[in-house]
Every structure is written in C-alpha cells, then in structure tokens.
Amino acid sequence: MDTLVTDRVRARIAKPRAADLLARGWTILGPAGEGMLLMEGPDPDLEPTPAPSLLAAFARPLLSRARTRALARAGGSPVFGAAA
C-alpha cells in the first residue's frame, strides 16, 4: 500500500465545512472565533507525492546490475539504441 507524503497546514474553517474536512483527514485543534474552528490537515494546494517504496528501493539496484550483466554477456551496449 502506498502512503502519501504531504505538508500540513493550519486554517480557520467555518463550522459547516468542518465535517467535510474531518472526512478528508483534518483534525480540530480548537475554537477560532464565532462560527469558526482552528483545524490542521494536508495542504490542498500541494500535489501529494508517493513515498518511496522500500521494495522499489531494494529491487532497482538489483535489476540494474542484472541488466548490465546480461548486456555484457550479449555484447550489447548498456545504453538502448547506442552503437556497440
């Protein structure tokens, strides 16, 4: 399962909108004036970026070395489309 890395922001949110944001992972920090709540949650302006996968970080160097060895045995160039 991929997890997302996002920055968190604090904002004053109108009480009618609080339920929607709670469903999106925001938390209530306390009151922020009449009809408002101070809330914290993921920044809606940022595109969430996937956290690096441990499996991909482990497999990438292994696959790279296997590809390099296979190309060396076959006499091919390690760069696709390059002349040998």
In contact, 50 and 59? CB cutoff 8 Å: no
Q: Could you read off the pLDDT of 26-57 as tens digits, one per residue?
A: 999 999 888 999 999 988 777 666 666 777 77
The residue ranges of every structural domain in the chain are 4-74
Which of 59, 6, 11 lies closest to 39 in space, CA to CA? 11
Name the band, by pLDDT with cuts 50, 70 and 90, for residue 8. Answer: confident
Element (H, E) at 23: helix 15-23
* pLDDT above 90 as % of the chain: 25
